[in-house]
Structure 1
């Protein structure tokens, strides 16, 4: 069709369900006038680059006349033909650069579409380690040697490795948004983090021994806040993660013949139902439900749950004489005690919510009693003497 001003002014929307309605011009081919259900009319240009069809917006009719739209379309087509450049891709590239110019801007854009819990954790690492070192630098300015020196300068190997992994992922996200070519995953040397080796990490193998438990429970009971007391006893009884317990709502507590709780949006990404022992069920039943507060472990702020429990734990573990035990070690102790009792790594992993029982095996570190039984048995084998062997329970069937 050869468009004229008369035809354009008379054009009406024809279509259903907001289907695209376009009047195509024949000079140049690819120039079109889109008519919207609202009556709006706008110029667009259809073209191909590397066999892929593209559609570029040129501007509204009224802002661009027919002659101006034709001239603009011919210029764009000539540029595409002569330079083999995709103007839409260049436009996206410029927009991406505008919002990811610095390392901090790049990182914040990287986490923007992630789950809130994941984004918060990544930003916590970035604000602690990445932004102070590289935040205001242009993302293309950072060199591999700088990243290596920065990584080596972070005191704790675990924190250094997590920060490096986060920065590396942000760079991959930025590079692949620009060229859509992730075929070289993990070896794209445009990423300044590639080639920087992770530092050796010492596996943490700390658990609470059962003879330490009475002292810990006494220290827990000395806390004034009943929700703090209940929280730490619940962690011991259920083996869940601290954040799973802190975010638990009464709506996810099932109080019946088979009591259970449902932990939402867990570290593994799924909801997880965990049965409760009579002890754990009675513990929750003893708590007062605060009106207008959905959280099981209610905080002092109306409508909110407990948040700052680290200071309470510092007091508790000091009073119990177990200052080497972290809060997460309660979960590790839970898995380890089940291992001592004869449960398999698969059974333990099912309760703890591990995707693989390989993780559960780490939590099955033998306690002092089991270790003593092992070395005493070896003494009997080596010397022929009768050893003082501690009898262990039979391992539960798979």
Structure 2
């Protein structure tokens, strides 16, 4: 027995006594007039010929518009499945699909039902059969996510989520399951990671609801897992000097106090250079760790630069760059930064990356997450380094704040400071971030002055004694 397309009260629903001609103006009018009025169902009919009293119409079986007191209108397809059970398939809101789009969907559903299919029942069956892992993988493969975000989400899913709910039917996952995952992380004081994990699960279900893959919302009502507090840590001159000296001590394989350094605390030459370059250039740890040979220009000349690529539109396809904000970053290199990069090219670089991943240290049978040293490896190295230096709670990112504050104290304008750090502010016009020749000259002077300041701190000379005042606007 195939699906029935019978037309009438049983198929239309209990209130589909109103008729509406298949005409966009007519549909828009009834939707507009529905505001403040009771919910109504409209049978849509197609005009064959004639006007007024001579107008002839034909039914469009099961094609219904339901208007709401809120002033909205949604198209549905009513039909009976092979067992004679009345079903209602949502085609979409008028604002989403329009009348012509709804008609195409109605025609498609009609063809499916005539062939014996049950669109609503099939969707419910798919929902019941789909596991959370399948839903999450659909989210990662088809959701609108940046490549790096997908990689991070996949890592957290594999590490913290799939073991608990991966094999559960997606429709059965509830808030208790989500809270169990979060609380396990919070027991180890990983509140930030708990928030990330909750957001990943919530994002997968939001995608699933939009695509009709799931109706569940297990994260609904679960608030932020711990309060995020903005960091304002500003490393002091003394701390910067101590960290730099600890890097040099690591190269000598001794602690700052001259004692033999534990094997686990030693930093590789690549890691030492990454941290130093991050300090003198002010760029992000991931940007330094992932630097490629092709990004370094004119290291042997008078005007060396590091050009970090931003996002590119190539024939309509977005090619993701390496900067956080998607904007190309030109970093005029100080003489110290250029020297550090030249050292890195001599000791560490492979064919493409200046700091390639250490394949000898990768666990047997596993590939590195990135072809270069990972940003998290830099963070771990920084934790070991600050312990040896006797410096508490300083991160690579805090060095960016130190540079910005020091340059501000030297009278450097906000415009130049933003260009140094590749900061953007939605309240500032695009022209503010133009890296013209004049601005690059000022950025180079700022970075050269900062490098001289760091060198003065390490050498023990009076900080800033060899630095001229740089600007006027703060």
In which range does the TM-score fall when normalised by the shorter chain? Answer: 0.5 to 0.7
Separation of aligned partners in 2, 1:116 and 1:108: 14
- Residues 282 and 209 (structure 1), Cα distance of their counterparts in 2 relative to 1, 3 Å cut: same
Separation of aligned partners in 2, 1:128 and 1:338: 41
SS in 1 for 2:344: coil
Which of the numbers 373, 378, 382 marks the counterpart of 1:313?
A: 382
Task: Please give the residue correspondences for 1:199-218 in structure 2 after superposition, counting only pairs within 5 Å.
Answer: 199=225, 200-218=227-245
Which of the numbers 110, 124, 131 marks the counterpart of 2:139?
A: 110
The answer (yes or no) to whether the contact 2:208–2:215 under 8 Å persists in 1 is no
Q: CA deviation at 1:203?
A: 2.4
The answer (yes or no) to whether the contact 2:185–2:191 under 8 Å persists in 1 is yes
Structure with larger RCO (C-alpha < 8 A, sep 6+): 2
- Residues 166 and 300 (structure 1), Cα distance of their counterparts in 2 relative to 1, 3 Å cut: closer
SS in 1 for 2:306: strand
Partner of 2:209: 175
The answer (yes or no) to whether the contact 2:243–2:389 under 8 Å persists in 1 is yes
Please tell me the root mean square deviation across aligned C-alpha atoms, in Å. Answer: 3.9
The answer (yes or no) to whether the contact 1:293–1:304 under 8 Å persists in 2 is no
Separation of aligned partners in 1, 2:426 and 2:417: 8
Q: CA deviation at 1:344?
A: 5.0
- What per-residue deviation string (whole Å, max 9, x for no partner) do you get for residues 50-90 of structure 1? 4016897xxxxxxxxxxxxxxxxxx974835999x6x5x97
The answer (yes or no) to whether the contact 1:349–1:357 under 8 Å persists in 2 is no
Partner of 1:197: 223
Residue 121 (str. 1) matches residue 156 (str. 2): no
Partner of 1:353: 422
Q: CA deviation at 1:253?
A: 0.6
Partner of 2:406: 337
Separation of aligned partners in 2, 1:80 and 1:352: 62
Residue 277 (str. 1) matches residue 318 (str. 2): no
Separation of aligned partners in 2, 1:149 and 1:396: 55
The answer (yes or no) to whether the contact 1:238–1:276 under 8 Å persists in 2 is yes
Q: CA deviation at 1:216?
A: 1.2
Partner of 2:113: 79
Partner of 1:293: 351
Q: CA deviation at 1:396?
A: 4.0
The answer (yes or no) to whether the contact 2:379–2:395 under 8 Å persists in 1 is no
- Residues 80 and 267 (structure 1), Cα distance of their counterparts in 2 relative to 1, 3 Å cut: farther
Separation of aligned partners in 2, 1:284 and 1:355: 26
SS in 2 for 1:166: helix
The answer (yes or no) to whether the contact 2:283–2:400 under 8 Å persists in 1 is yes
Task: Please give the residue correspondences for 1:1-398 in structure 2 after superposition, counting only pairs within 5 Å.
Answer: 50-52=102-104, 77=111, 79-80=113-114, 93=123, 97=127, 101-113=130-142, 114-148=145-179, 150-151=181-182, 154-155=185-186, 156-178=190-212, 190-199=216-225, 200-224=227-251, 225-255=268-298, 256-264=301-309, 265=321, 266-289=323-346, 292-298=350-356, 300-301=358-359, 305-307=372-374, 308-343=377-412, 345-356=414-425, 396-397=472-473
SS in 2 for 1:273: strand
Separation of aligned partners in 2, 1:294 and 1:319: 33
How many pairs were matched up? 287
- Residues 243 and 94 (structure 1), Cα distance of their counterparts in 2 relative to 1, 3 Å cut: farther
- Residues 229 and 291 (structure 1), Cα distance of their counterparts in 2 relative to 1, 3 Å cut: closer
Q: CA deviation at 1:244?
A: 0.9
Separation of aligned partners in 1, 2:217 and 2:410: 48
Q: TM-score, normalising length from structure 1?
A: 0.60
- Residues 396 and 54 (structure 1), Cα distance of their counterparts in 2 relative to 1, 3 Å cut: farther
